[in-house]
Homo-oligomer: A and B are copies of this chain.
Amino acid sequence: MLQARSIHLVVDNRDGVALGVQPTSLSDLFVRQPVEQLSAGQALFFEGDAARHLFRVISGTIRIFKIISDGRRVITRFLHAGDIIGVSLKDVYLNSADAIGDACVQRVSRKTLEQELVRTPELGPEMFARMCDELAAQQDQMVLLSRKNAEERLCTFLRAEMRRAAANGAIGAMLELPMTRLDVADYLGLTIETVSRTLTKLANKGILSISGRHVVRIIRQAALAQLCGDDDEYAGERNMVACWARQHH
């Protein structure tokens, strides 16, 4: 189908020049690539496009989504600085990707990746690992979409964003949410209104406070965790019990 074009700064040099150094991780593949700037809403690729590149996010947030009949949109993932897009090596992209607000990315061609995979077999396990992480994350999202209520969905989302922010060096309870309510809604399988109402409900409960459109302050982390609806600790044993309970009515 049609390939997203006209990205500022990209010269399509086909990253043909082999890297000087032997890469030891996937990230190294990007290290000499030019940085491409995306403006708000700009697409990286569309579902069905020939999957010619992998991308690494330098800054900003990228939105991965699918659209079905009559325009329903499902956001399957948000990507932030450091994340790599396109690890699933199908010949066409499985979904579309665009930037929320301004963002910077680098790209590497599939061809380069494949060459490097041969040259540096240690990259294989990293590919596996990344795909496994993606599988695991998607399964958690299926659980969320299948069986969690609006409050649990929001809490799960906020907690995950919290963890990510912390991992990226953010400190404190201030959480920045670059995406709009519509994005959150399309990610959590809800509507804007429900997202908004549920947020104010959580604020009223004293679990968080809303500071403007894109910032939330998490006041009671523990309470947030309780409300995720996950099987906290001891998952193994609990599952056994739940299993058993289910079978023997």
- Fill in one digit per residue for A79-115: 1 if any B CB lies within 8 Å of its CB, else 0: 0000000001110001110000000000000000000
Does A166 reach chain B (CB closer than 8 Å)?
A: no
Instruction: Pick the most buried of A127, A139, A236, A240: most chain B CB atoms within 10 A of its CB.
Output: A139
Does A239 reach chain B (CB closer than 8 Å)?
A: yes
Are A239 and B142 touching (Cβ within 8 A)? Answer: no
- Fill in one digit per residue for A217-236: 1 if any B CB lies within 8 Å of its CB, else 0: 00000000000011110011
Does A72 reach chain B (CB closer than 8 Å)?
A: yes
Count of A interface residues, CB-CB < 8 Å: 59
- Fill in one digit per residue for A103-143: 1 if any B CB lies within 8 Å of its CB, else 0: 00000000000000000010010011101101110110111
Q: For residue A124, which residues in chain B have a CB less than 8 angstroms away from its CB?
A: 124
Number of chain copies forming the complex: 2
Does A172 reach chain B (CB closer than 8 Å)?
A: no
Instruction: Pick the most buried of A46, A49, A88: most chain B CB atoms within 10 A of its CB.
Output: A88
Which of A19-27, A61-69, A201-209 faces chain B? A61-69
CB distance from A199 to the nearest CB of B (A): 19
